[in-house]
Amino acid sequence: MNPILHKIVETKYSEIEISRSKPLPDRTIPIRDWKSHLKTNSVSVIAECKKGSPSAGILRPDYDPVQIAKIYEESGAGAISVLTDRSYFFGSLQDLESVAKQVSLPVIRKDFILDPVQIDEAYAYGASAILLIVRILTPELLKSLLRHASGLGLAVLVETHNEHEVQVALDSGANTIGINTRDLDTFQIHKNLIEQIAPKLDSSIIRVAESGIESYDDWQKYRGLIDSMLVGTFFMKSKNISADFFSLLNGPPQNTK
C-alpha cells in the first residue's frame, strides 16, 4: 500500500474509535434513488465537492459545497459526491448533510470507509450512497460493509483499480463498480484501464469511470462502455463550473459567424 494511503487508513482507524462514542442525529433527508439517476440513456455525471487532496493541496480556497452542489444540480448532474475526510481532503460530515439538504439528487459519502459506524454516519447525515474501496478492504469486510449499507437502503459505489479488484467487487455482490484510472500506489493515470475492463462487465452493472476526466475528448472513447463518470478536480479548478460542465458533456462551444 502506498505510504500516503497507509497513513490515511491508520488515521481513519483512530477516527473510527472516536466516532463510536458519538451520538448520531436522526435522519430527516429522504434516500434518493441511485440507479435511476445514473443508469440513463446518456452518460451521467457524479459531480464532486472536494476542497483539496494530499497530492494537489487546496484546490478551491473559496470552497462552498452547497453553492457548488446547486450549480451541479442546475447543470444536470446525476448525483453529487461529497468528500467527508477532514484530515487529508478538508471535508466533513457537516458538508455532506448541508449538501444533501439543499439538493434533490442522491449524494454519496466519499471517504475511506472501513467500519459499519462510518456507514451509520453516512446514513444519519443524509447520504443516499457510500464509496467502498477494494484496495483497502479484505473481500470478507467488503461483503460485510455492502450488506450493512444495503440494510440501511444505501447504494454502494465499489471502487476498483485493476481486473483482480473488479472480480473481488463482483464476487461481493456489487452492482455499481467504479473503475479508477488513478493508481493509488503511484498516483499515475492509466487511461486505457476502462477500455480494458468495462466491456467485460454485464450491462446490469452501473459502470463508473473515475479520475483523469477533464475534457469532452477524455471520456468520448468510453462512450458505450460506461454509464457515468465521477468528476471532481476538473470542476474544483474551474472558474465557471456551469460553462465547463456544459463543455465537458458537449464539447467546446462552436464559433458561429
- Average pLDDT in the 70-92 region? 97
Q: Where is pLDDT greater, at 186 or 218?
A: 218
Give the type of residue at 91. G
Q: pLDDT at position 255, please?
A: 57
Is the pLDDT confidence value at 241 over 70?
yes
- Average pLDDT in the 207-213 region? 93
Nearest Cα to Cα of residue 109 among 98, 123, 117: 123
Judge whether 158 and 176 are in contact, CB under 8 Å.
yes
Q: pLDDT at position 212, please?
A: 87
What tens digit of pLDDT does each residue of 58-75 get?
999 999 999 999 999 999
Is the pLDDT confidence value at 257 over 60?
no
Q: Active site includes 48? A: yes
Per-residue cell: 138: 479484505
What tens digit of pLDDT does each residue of 20-30 get?
999 999 999 99
- Average pLDDT in the 186-205 region? 88
Mean residue pLDDT of the chain comes to: 94
- Tell me whether residue 210 is in a domain: yes
3-state secondary structure of 40: coil
Q: Which domain holds residue 11?
A: 3-20+30-248
Q: Active site includes 180? A: yes
- Tell me whether residue 256 is in a domain: no
Q: pLDDT at position 180, please?
A: 94
What whole-number percentage of the chain has pLDDT above 70? 98
- Tell me whether residue 13 is in a domain: yes
Q: Where is pLDDT greater, at 146 or 4?
A: 146
Check which CATH number belongs to the domain holding 57 and give it.
Answer: 3.20.20.70
Q: pLDDT at position 4, please?
A: 85
Looking at 110, 128, 172, 228, which residue is catalytic?
110
- Tell me whether residue 257 is in a domain: no
Looking at 48, 73, 121, 165, which residue is catalytic?
48
Q: Active site includes 14? A: no
Is the pLDDT confidence value at 46 over 90?
yes
What tens digit of pLDDT does each residue of 120-139 get?
999 999 999 999 999 999 99
Q: Active site includes 15? A: no
Beta-carbon contacts of 60 under 8 Å, excluding residues fewer than 6 positions away, are: 50, 51, 52, 236, 237
Q: Active site includes 50? A: yes
Report DSSP state, residue 49.
E
- Average pLDDT in the 129-153 region? 98
Neighbours of 105 (CB within 10 A): 20
Q: pLDDT at position 54, please?
A: 87
Interatomic CA distance for residues 56 and 51, integer angstroms: 10
Q: pLDDT at position 49, please?
A: 98
Judge whether 193 and 181 are in contact, CB under 8 Å.
yes
Q: How many domains does the chain have?
A: 1
- Average pLDDT in the 140-163 region? 97
- Tell me whether residue 63 is in a domain: yes
- Tell me whether residue 135 is in a domain: yes
Interatomic CA distance for residues 136 and 144, integer angstroms: 14
Q: Active site includes 22? A: no
